[in-house]
Amino acid sequence: MGKMKFGEKAKNPKATFLRLMKDVFEGRYLLIVLIVFCIILSAFSTTYSASFIGSFIDDVVIPLKGVENPDFTKALIYLGKFAVVVLISIAASFAVSYIMVGVAQKSIYDMRIKMFDKLESLPLSYFDKNARGSIMSRFANDTDTLNQLVANGLVQLLTAGMTLVMVLFSMAVNSWILLLVVIAFIFITLFVTGTIGKKSGAFFKAQQKALGDVNGYIEEMMNGQRVVKVFTHEEKCKEDFEVLNKKLEKTMAEANTWAGSMGPVNNNLGHLQYVVLVLVGAVAIIARPDIYTIGALAAFLQLSKSFSNNISQLSQQANNVLLALAGAERIYKLLDEEPEKDNGDVTIVRVKGEGDNIEECSERTGHWAWKVPEGDKSTLVPLKGGVVIDHVDFSYDGERTVLSDISLYAKPGQKIAFVGSTGAGKTTITNLLNRFYNIQKGIITIDGVDIKRIKLNDLRRSMAMVLQDTNLFTGTVKENIRYGRPQATDEDVIKAAKLANAHDFIMMMKDGYDTVLTNNGENLSQGQRQLLSIARAAIADPPIMVLDEATSSIDTYTETLVQSGMDKLMENRTVFVIAHRLSTVRNSNAIMVLENGRIIERGDHEDLLKAKGVYYSLYTGKTELS
C-alpha cells in the first residue's frame, strides 16, 4: 500500500456508510424496530413541548390574566400531561442508548474478529508492503471511532433527524409564512455545513493516516531500543518522531478547527433566524390578531429553537461520521484484501504399509503420503521429501527479477546448501518452497507433485523452518516448543528439547518447562532462543527442513552443542541450509553458489574447492578470517 496523500478523501463515503450499517444491523431487525420506536417517542416529546407552551399561553395564561380568584385546575392538568410525556421520553432515550451500546460493542467485537481472521489469511507480501503500526492503528484507533459512532453518534443523528421531520411538520401546521423564513435558513445552513464538512473530512482522513504513522514509529522504536542505544541514535529518533508528531499536530489542528467551527457557525445562524422570526411574527400578530396569537408565536419560536439545536447536533455529528467513515474505509480496505489463494486438492494423509503397498489410515504410524486426486479415484504418493526446482523465475513486484532460471533437485534425505552474498536470492528460494510467494515461471515439485496442487496447510506441514530471526510467543517454554505440533505430549516436548540440546538450560530456569516467556523471550540469550526455535522445528518432525542462517546468532560454544542435535535432526530428512559460516555446509550433498538471483556454481565442497571459483574465494577468505 502506498502512502496516503495529505488531505485524501474517502473514495465512496456513501457506500462505506451503507456497508457499515449493514454490518452493524444485519440480523437485528427487531432491535431496529424497537430503536426507531424509541427515537420517535423521544422526538415526539420535543414537538409536544413546543405545542404545550403555545396552548398553555393561549388557553391558560392569557384567560387567567386579571382574574381575581384564578382556577389552576386546567394548568395542573396541562402540567400533568407534560410530565407524563417527559417521563416517557426519558425512558425511551435511556432504552435506545442502552440498546445501542450493546449493539456497538457486539459490532466492534465482530469487526475485530473479521479483521484478525483476514490478517491470518493474507499472504506475506501484504505484511511486506504495510507497516505494522498502520495495521495496529486499524485495530485500535479506527475501531474506536466506529464504536463512538455506533454507540452515541448514530443515536444522536437519528434522534436529531426524526426530531427535525416532526418539527418541520409542526411548523408547517403552525404558520407557513414563518416556515418560509426557516426554509431559507435551511439552505444557508446546508451550504455552510457542506463547505465546512468537505474541509474537515479531508483533514480527518489525513489525521488517521498521521496517527497510524506515529503509532507505527513508536512501536518500531520500542522493539528496537537496544539497537537505538547501541548506536546512540536517541537524538535522531527524537528528531524523526518530532517530524511525525508535528504532522499529526497539524492535521489534527486543521481537522478540529474546521470541525469545531461548524457548531458555532450554525448556532449563530440559529440566533439570527430566531431574531428574524420574532420580527416577522410580531408583524403578523399586529396585522392579523384573529389568525396569529402570542401563544402560537411562542410555540413556533420554541420549534425554531429546537430546529436550530438539532441542525447544530447534526452538523457536530457529521464530523464524527466523517471521522468514523475515514476509519471504516481503512478497515474495509483491509477486509477487502485478497486472501492467500489456495486452489490445491492434494492433501497429506497418514499411511501404513511399505513400498507400493500402502494404504490410508487414521492411527499415528510416523509415515505419511500425498493423496493425489485423479478423477474419481486418488493415488497415494509416499511423502519422502524429494524436491525438484525446474527453471524457476521469480519477481516480488512483477518488474525486477529476483531469481532467474533456477534449477536444482534434492533427493530424499539430501542436504542442499545455499551460499552467496546478501540479496543473492538464497532466502527467496526457501520462501518459494513454502509458497509464501508464487513463482512466475517454472515448476517446483515435492515427490513429483506440483506444490501448486498441494493445499497450503498440508504443504507447510511437510516442512519446518528455523529462521535467523527467532520469534517466541507469550506462554510457557513448553507451549512454545509445542507450537510446532500442538497435539504433542510432554514427553515429545522434552525429547525435542533434548535433541536441540535445550533441555539442560530449560531445567535451570525457575519453573523449567512451565517458565512463562514474554516479549519474545527477552530474558533469554539469543542462543537460547534459537535452541527453542530448533526444538520447535524438531517436534514437528517433518520430512523437509529449512535452516535459514539458523546458527548465525549462536556463539561458538553453543553452536558446538547445537550441531550434534542438528545432525540428528537432519537424519533421513531433506534439508535446505542457508549459512554464512561455510564450515557448517561442508558436509552438504550439494552446495549452490548464488549471485544476483542465479546459480553460478554447484557441487559438493571438495569439487567447488578444486574449481577455485567464487566458493573457493569465499571459503579461503573465511578460513583466513577465522
398 and 492 share one domain? yes
Tell me if 346 sits within 8 A of 445, measured CB to CB: no
Residues 511 and 599 in one domain: yes
DSSP notation for 334-376? HHTSPPPP----BEEEEEEEETTEEEE-SS--S-EEEEEEETT
Q: Does 341 map to a domain?
A: no
Domain boundary among 355, 382, 409: 382
Question: Is the confidence at residue 625, as pLDDT, over 60?
Answer: no
The Cβ-side half-sphere exposure at 56, using a 13 Å CA radius, reads 18
- Say if 327 falls within a structural domain: yes
How much is the pTM?
A: 0.72
Q: CB–CB of 332/16 below 8 Å?
A: yes
Residues 6+ apart with CB under 8 A from 342: 455, 456, 457
- Asked, for residue 2, whether it belongs to a domain, the answer is no
78 & 226 share domain: yes
Q: How many helices (H) and strands (E) does the chain have?
A: 21, 16
pLDDT band at 10 (very low <50, low <70, confident <90, very high): low
- At residue 621, φ and ψ (nearest 5 deg) are -65, -40
Torsion of CA 426, 427, 431, 432, to 10 degrees: -20
Percent of residues, the chain, with pLDDT higher than 90: 20
What value does the CA radius of gyration of the chain take, rounded to a whole number of Å?
36
378 plus 318 within the same structural domain: no
Q: What is the pLDDT of residue 267?
A: 72
Contact assessment for residue 163 and residue 40, using Cβ atoms and an 8 Å cutoff:
no
Q: How confident is the model at residue 481 (pLDDT cuts 50, 70, 90)?
A: very high
Cell, residue 289? 390578531
The three cell numbers of residue 610 are 578444486
Q: Do 413 and 355 share a structural domain?
A: no
Q: Are residues 523 and 483 in the same domain?
A: yes
Question: How far apart are the C-alpha atoms of 200 and 250, rounded to whole Å?
Answer: 13
Residue 406, SS3? Answer: strand
- The C-alpha angle 146, 148, 153, rounded to 5 degrees, equals 105
- For the residues 340-354, what does the mean pLDDT come to? 89
Same domain for 394 and 373 = no
Any domain includes 340: no
Q: What is the CATH number of the domain that holds 411?
A: 3.40.50.300
Q: Are residues 376 and 396 in the same domain?
A: no
Pair 80, 202 in one domain:
yes
Same domain, 147 and 240: yes
What CATH number corresponds to the domain at position 104?
Answer: 1.20.1560.10
Question: Does residue 608 fall inside a structural domain?
Answer: yes
Whether residue 354 sits in one domain with residue 327: no
Strand order in the sheet with 377-382: 357-360, 347-354, 368-374, 377-382
Cβ(533)–Cβ(563) below 8 Å: no
Indicate whether 449 and 577 sit together in one domain.
yes
Higher pLDDT, 3 or 162: 162
Is 388 a residue whose pLDDT tops 50?
yes
Task: Give the containing element (helix H, strand E) for 581.
Answer: none
In a domain, 252, yes or no: yes
Provide the pLDDT for residue 7: 38
Strand order in 401-410's β-sheet?
A: 401-410, 387-395, 441-446, 449-450
The per-residue pLDDT for range 195-209, each reduced to its tens digit, is: 777 777 777 778 878
- Domain with 476, as residue range(s), is 387-625
User: What are the tens digits of pLDDT across the range 106-161?
Assistant: 889 999 999 999 998 988 888 888 877 788 888 888 888 888 888 888 888 888 88
> What are the respective helix, strand and coil percentages of the chain, to the nearest 5?
60, 15, 25
Q: Please state the domain count of the chain.
A: 3
Instruction: Compute φ and ψ for 373, nearest 5 degrees.
Output: -65, 135
Residue 487 forms part of a structural domain:
yes
> How many residues are recorded in the chain?
626
Residue from 198, 159, 190, 192 nearest 313 by CA: 159
Q: Is residue 8 one of the residues assigned to a domain? A: no
Considering only residues 176 and 538, tell me which one the structure prediction assigns the higher pLDDT: 538
